[in-house]
Structure 1
Amino acid sequence: MSDPTVSPQYCIGIDLGTTNSVVAYAAIPTDEIPVRDQSPPIQLLPIPQIVGPGQVESRESLPSFLYLPRDHEFDSLRIDASNLPSGECPTSFPDPSEGVVGVYAREQAADNPQRVVVAAKSWLCHAKVGRTEPVLPWQSPEEVRKVSAYDCTRRFLQHLIAAWHAAFPDAPIDQQQVVLTVPASFDPAARDLTRRGAIEAGLNDQFVLLEEPQAAVYRYLASTEGSWRDAMGRGDTLLVVDVGGGTTDLTLVGVDAGDGEHSGELQLVRQAVGKHLLVGGDNMDLTLAFHASEKFREQGHDLDPWQSTSLWHACREAKERLLQVDGPEKHSISVLGRGSSLIGGTIAIDIERSQAAELIVGGFFPKCSRDDRPEMNVQSGFQDIGLPYESDPAITKQVAAFLSDHLSVQENANKVTHLLLNGGVFRSEAIRQSIESTIGSWFDAPPQTLTTTVANLDTSVAIGAAYYGYTKTSGGVRIRGGTAKSFYIGIETAGLAIPGAPRPLRAVCVAPQGMEEGTQTEVPGEQVGVVVGSPARFRFFSSTTRPGDNPGTRLDRWTSEELQESEPVELTLEMPESAPDHAPDAGPQRRFVPVRFESRVTELGMFELWCHGVDVDQRWKLEFNARESGS
């Protein structure tokens, strides 16, 4: 645990990405008062990692891949003091028996796909598969040891923390100001698992969770040192499109006048966050893989499932190389041969830079009108890896739907004045131009694109997170907005039982959209009975499209577009020593205790619902904890 009497020396930003993870940091001045809006020198942490048996190198990013080696590989994959560039090997550096992460794991994805976990971050928010159950690598053979998405999250963070300690042995990370980023659309269970994994990996419980699109905005702010106020004015609206490896995050940020001591100054307010969109770089890799498999078929090679998985991973590297600013005009893709005449050999094809850009632009950033909406047909080609990808991968259509849902409820109803693009895919000039021109065609005055350098698109989230941590010490500009969603509980209504039909459910708002971190509110309304002393299932819902609902708002009917159900919480609440029986037919071990509700949003941004007994002096806490048995 951290020592509260020790002042932090550094602000650390950790981007735990689907494809790559990055750590940025800035020193906190000790001999001078920080200047508001001034950006400190922010550096990237070199991350030692295995690049081959017996080979360790430091890179600016850690590929978020986990390779589960065979037993005979452990000795050759251990990191020791002689291999580390720093010359030191802290005891906390993870042992390869828990899996190898980084460059070597990414390269093994093409040769041993059945032993490599990819997109663990996407699996962490996949409610239909146990987030803490060992099911990854998905569909791998039985002899391969499985891990959970939670295990991978903890494992990646362990490696990043060990890298920090290797570079700064005199500045333990649990004594620093740490900001860890998550997708804005992460559901509460995924946020909580990220929090738990980070604490188990070695962070203290005072670190901050920051939404990735906001971190991208902070990266832009850091580059301007206050001059952003010259580029934006009161009433302006900024659209952030953040396309990562596994998800696309959409956020609206408004510009408003400040209050209090900063009255009259321009301030930023997060207005809306889009739903969880499982479409990103992974889908683009699959698209290239489909194109490549057709070219292999033209050569007479019909790939089997193992080769297809290997091809998918090979196409990830091809996309990254071809979309670089100075990328090659073509890239060779090869897979191991499987026929009797090809065992031990390879088959290969070339993908041209222009072909890759055309496939990705046409499939993911097509021209569309503002009235277009994503198609709802199921794309069966994306089902093999087990994740529920969007049926329509057209990101521009997803943006159109998002703006339709949220711009109409804002005061400045129908305009986006500024656009911020984030994610490595936007290194491609063709892709940037396509989305800019498409969104620009929806408005009388095209939005002004706010840019950092293209070279920083892979590291901007980590740099922005470190800068956000610095603003907490310097009093710099902060994005206000509170929770991105409003939260509801499902209450089963009383009534006669009907065979084969569930009792009607009503939803009650317990936390409004925009509720600030570190605040709490009582929920008005009728008393509700909570089940104690026996297992019960608690249902929670959230919404990004009902900003007008206040605590106590009751909904008897709603659509799946209005409210989205989160993973239910299943647990047993402790029975008070003397609980009145409010359900005569429930039996001695199943009782309903009348409660009143109090909602809290912690400094970490976690939502908590407290149930205070009306007739008993006891309270219970309900969180969106995935598969946790606490109370």
Structure 2
Amino acid sequence: MTHRFSLGIDLGTSNSAIAVTDLESDTTELVEVAQVLRPGQIGDIATLPSALYVAHPDEFPADAFTLPWNESADRLVIIGQFARDHGALVPDRLVTSAKSWLSNPHIDPKDPALPWKSEIEEKKLSAFDCSRLYLQHIRDAFRHGEAAKAKGWELAEGQIVLTVPASFDDVARNLTAEAAEAAGLGKVTLLEEPQAAFYAWTQHAGKEWRTQVSPGDIVLVCDVGGGTADFSLIAVNETDGELELERISVGEHILLGGDNMDLALAYTLRAKLETEGKSLDAWQFLALVHAAAKAKVALFDDAALAAAPIAVPSRGSSLFAGTVATTLERSMLEQVILDGFFPKTAVSDMPREGRRVGLQEFGLPYAADAAVSRHLARFLSRSLANVKASEKLAALVGAAADAKDFLAPTAVLFNGGVFKAAVIRERILGLLTAWNDGKPVRELQGFQPDLAVAKGASVYGRNRATGKGIRIKAGAARSYYIGLESSMPTVPGFTPPVKAVCVVPQGMEEGSQLVIEGKEFGLITGHPAEFRFFSSEVRSGDTPGQILADAEGELEETSRLEVNLPTLDDLSTGPAVPVQINPVITELGTLELWMKHTKSDRRWKVEFTVRTE
């Protein structure tokens, strides 16, 4: 089918956005999203806050939140700006960071558990449900928007690209794609967010992008948004006079971003108020977080300001009399944000681990160390280990692979709302320069911190649909493995280590598959069996079929699945069925794992959609 447009969707942790490219005129523009601004008022704004509010049945009139496209919508579920703002006052009814819950390895993302720790009587939602509802809202907002109506676009005529963090494992990636299909978007193409930011930068820079990078460059895409920190490295090469780009490393999934910074400011301001004899209740503290976020933006936007006012109202009858006032001074801002989250550390300083308490409160696995600097140092040191593990990658980066401590980028592309602040960008550039023995690391000009991911996804979709434009070579971001039970005699008091077989090598390209030849495995069918999956960001040299002797010691476990694979009528359910492993990475960027019967053309699919522990 010939596509008429490309739709890019940034399903963000804190905010979501959409952009569309008209393939006829080759123009890209943002699509404002209609949403509830307050009861009885609908408005179009640039982003859709990734927030969902579960209203009490008697809280609002029945027609308070009627959207243009669905008069019969569930009036108890509100999405967007009003959900975020009103939900801050009633936090036990507010869902935020559903995307982080989608990637949480400790829960079933289809389990209705959100709002987390809430005791509301209304039905709760799963992380999958929330993602589906956000995407459904985005779908409807686009279909009823001016651009789609004016040009008569139907969703089926579009190349739809949905972004995911580079650090997402394949369970989270596949669930995101499944949520999009359940939302009525069809089969979407997945694209890593740092890559999307790079595509947006090339379009914004036009032909000039080729003058800002050159063969031998290693570009760090540094993406710190509201809830996550995501790092990627892209190598620039040249073949027959044409620049080529290849993503060579991605970071771990780090729950650390602007929301953490706002919370840190609020705690610091509360301590200041308490020294003045003023106290805040729980509701006022939430209002303080909101006020601190606004004051932070004001100070970072205007370097001439020495301080920004903070006003926290009370819920009492005398609103003015109950207001608590203070100020956020620039010195406090820089102490909390720059020194706390972006301290001047050495490249050898790694993130500190949290204390191992015997019993922990269950929830999102937030980063134990708030210093983005140390997480970045860890990423760059692991990136060096990754390129050294592969002759191909080592040759691609050249002399940089001979470094001792870390893979040094030569240029940085910033992304995410945190980097709107020039002083934070300067701190990162200063750190990288200091780590690189004083050799400057340049900033790529023309970044768009809030909306680049949606724009870049749309540009990438244009490139896919037309076959024109640049493509970043990427493929699988990490190597994947499946646990293997050892075949050895039972020894009292000794548990043999779990082996692992490499099923997907790092860099395996979209639209490709392989069969691991020369190795036969026994597959249990007909009753429940456990599959354990592992991955690695630093073993780029491992090959399909390679067996590691100690999976738990050498790899990161990503999920455990308990499944009951169906038997086939003419196959015995007693002994294990002989199979070969047949991994597939689809054109859409999702991973499928098949077990192929060695004596026929029959296969079993092991789904990457559920986690159990």
- Does structure 1 retain, via aligned residues, the 8 Å contact 2:57–2:76? no
- Does structure 1 retain, via aligned residues, the 8 Å contact 2:579–2:596? yes
Q: How many Å separate the matches in 2 of 1:500 and 1:598?
A: 36
Matches within 5 A, 1:73-222: 73=60, 75-80=62-67, 89-91=68-70, 95-97=73-75, 99-167=77-145, 168-169=148-149, 170-205=152-187, 207-222=188-203
- Does structure 2 retain, via aligned residues, the 8 Å contact 1:512–1:547? yes
| Counterpart amino acid of residue 500 in structure 2 | A
- Aligned position for 1:609: 593
Q: How many Å separate the matches in 1 of 2:105 and 2:313?
A: 33
| Counterpart amino acid of residue 132 in structure 2 | R
Q: How many Å separate the matches in 1 of 2:362 and 2:75?
A: 25
Structure 1 position 227 matched with structure 2 position 213: no
| Counterpart amino acid of residue 121 in structure 1 | K
Q: How many Å separate the matches in 1 of 2:348 and 2:322?
A: 51
- Post-superposition CA distance 1:55-82 (Å, at most 9, x none): 11110111111111111225243225xx
Matches within 5 A, 1:97-496: 97=75, 99-167=77-145, 168-169=148-149, 170-205=152-187, 207-258=188-239, 263-305=240-282, 307-309=284-286, 311-324=288-301, 329-334=307-312, 336=314, 345-378=322-355, 386-408=363-385, 409=388, 410=394, 411=398, 412-413=400-401, 414=403, 415-444=408-437, 445-453=439-447, 456-472=448-464, 473-496=466-489
Pairwise CA distance, 1:442: 1.5
| Counterpart amino acid of residue 152 in structure 1 | C
| Counterpart amino acid of residue 41 in structure 2 | Q
Q: How many Å separate the matches in 1 of 2:310 and 2:234?
A: 42
Q: How many Å separate the matches in 2 of 1:313 and 1:378?
A: 30
Pairwise CA distance, 1:539: 0.8
| Counterpart amino acid of residue 443 in structure 1 | N
- Post-superposition CA distance 1:92-136 (Å, at most 9, x none): x78243511111011113211111111111111111123111111
Pairwise CA distance, 1:617: 4.7
| Counterpart amino acid of residue 622 in structure 1 | V
Say if 1:331 and 1:188 are closer, same or farther in 2 by CA, change over 3 A: farther
Matches within 5 A, 1:589-608: 592-608=576-592
- Does structure 2 retain, via aligned residues, the 8 Å contact 1:488–1:542? yes
- Aligned position for 1:57: 43
Structure 1 position 573 matched with structure 2 position 565: yes
- Does structure 2 retain, via aligned residues, the 8 Å contact 1:318–1:333? no
Q: How many Å separate the matches in 1 of 2:297 and 2:133?
A: 24
- Does structure 2 retain, via aligned residues, the 8 Å contact 1:115–1:144? no
- Does structure 2 retain, via aligned residues, the 8 Å contact 1:579–1:616? no
- Does structure 2 retain, via aligned residues, the 8 Å contact 1:213–1:241? yes
Structure 1 position 510 matched with structure 2 position 497: no
Q: How many Å separate the matches in 2 of 1:290 and 1:384?
A: 20
Which sections of structure 1, spanning at least 5 residues, go unmatched? 31-39, 81-88, 584-591
Pairwise CA distance, 1:150: 1.0
- Post-superposition CA distance 1:566-590 (Å, at most 9, x none): 121222101010223553xxxxxxx
- Aligned position for 1:85: none
- Does structure 2 retain, via aligned residues, the 8 Å contact 1:278–1:388? yes
Pairwise CA distance, 1:334: 1.6
Q: Secondary structure at the match of 1:420?
A: strand
Pairwise CA distance, 1:298: 2.2
- Aligned position for 1:11: 6
| Counterpart amino acid of residue 572 in structure 2 | P
Q: How many Å separate the matches in 1 of 2:473 and 2:423?
A: 34
- Aligned position for 2:515: 522
Which sections of structure 2, spanning at least 5 residues, go unmatched? 389-393
Say if 1:375 and 1:212 are closer, same or farther in 2 by CA, change over 3 A: same
Q: Secondary structure at the match of 2:517?
A: strand
Q: How many Å separate the matches in 2 of 1:69 and 1:581?
A: 50
- Aligned position for 2:610: 626
Say if 1:94 and 1:267 are closer, same or farther in 2 by CA, change over 3 A: farther
Pairwise CA distance, 1:537: 1.4
Pairwise CA distance, 1:172: 2.0
Q: How many Å separate the matches in 2 of 1:316 and 1:22?
A: 20
Pairwise CA distance, 1:352: 3.3
RMSD: 2.6
Pairwise CA distance, 1:310: 5.2
- Alignment TM-score, normalising by the size of structure 1: 0.87
Q: How many Å separate the matches in 1 of 2:77 and 2:287?
A: 19
- Does structure 1 retain, via aligned residues, the 8 Å contact 2:232–2:250? yes
| Counterpart amino acid of residue 442 in structure 2 | Q
Say if 1:212 and 1:358 are closer, same or farther in 2 by CA, change over 3 A: same
The more displaced of 249-258 and 295-304 is 295-304
- Does structure 1 retain, via aligned residues, the 8 Å contact 2:93–2:120? no
- Does structure 1 retain, via aligned residues, the 8 Å contact 2:287–2:312? no
Q: How many Å separate the matches in 2 of 1:482 and 1:246?
A: 25
Count of paired positions: 586
- Aligned position for 1:21: 16
Q: Secondary structure at the match of 2:520?
A: strand
Q: Secondary structure at the match of 2:524?
A: strand
| Counterpart amino acid of residue 520 in structure 2 | Q
- Does structure 2 retain, via aligned residues, the 8 Å contact 1:379–1:392? no
Q: How many Å separate the matches in 2 of 1:74 and 1:117?
A: 21
Q: Secondary structure at the match of 1:223?
A: helix
Q: How many Å separate the matches in 1 of 2:180 and 2:587?
A: 16
Pairwise CA distance, 1:53: 0.9
Pairwise CA distance, 1:90: 2.5
- Does structure 2 retain, via aligned residues, the 8 Å contact 1:543–1:564? yes
- Does structure 1 retain, via aligned residues, the 8 Å contact 2:484–2:498? yes
Q: How many Å separate the matches in 2 of 1:127 and 1:528?
A: 27
- Post-superposition CA distance 1:446-473 (Å, at most 9, x none): 11110225xx311111111111112221
Q: Percent identity?
A: 40
Question: Displaced runs of 4+ in structure 1, greater than 6 A?
Answer: 340-344
Q: How many Å separate the matches in 1 of 2:33 and 2:277?
A: 43
- Post-superposition CA distance 1:586-626 (Å, at most 9, x none): xxxxxx21111111111121111110112455210113112
Pairwise CA distance, 1:407: 2.6
Q: How many Å separate the matches in 2 of 1:346 and 1:579?
A: 75
Q: How many Å separate the matches in 2 of 1:498 and 1:578?
A: 35
Q: Secondary structure at the match of 2:507?
A: coil
Q: How many Å separate the matches in 2 of 1:353 and 1:105?
A: 31
Q: How many Å separate the matches in 1 of 2:141 and 2:356?
A: 40
Q: How many Å separate the matches in 2 of 1:581 and 1:163?
A: 51
Q: How many Å separate the matches in 2 of 1:376 and 1:213?
A: 26
| Counterpart amino acid of residue 371 in structure 1 | S
| Counterpart amino acid of residue 618 in structure 1 | R
Q: How many Å separate the matches in 2 of 1:76 and 1:379?
A: 50
- Alignment TM-score, normalising by the size of structure 2: 0.89
- Aligned position for 1:550: 543
Say if 1:137 and 1:312 are closer, same or farther in 2 by CA, change over 3 A: farther
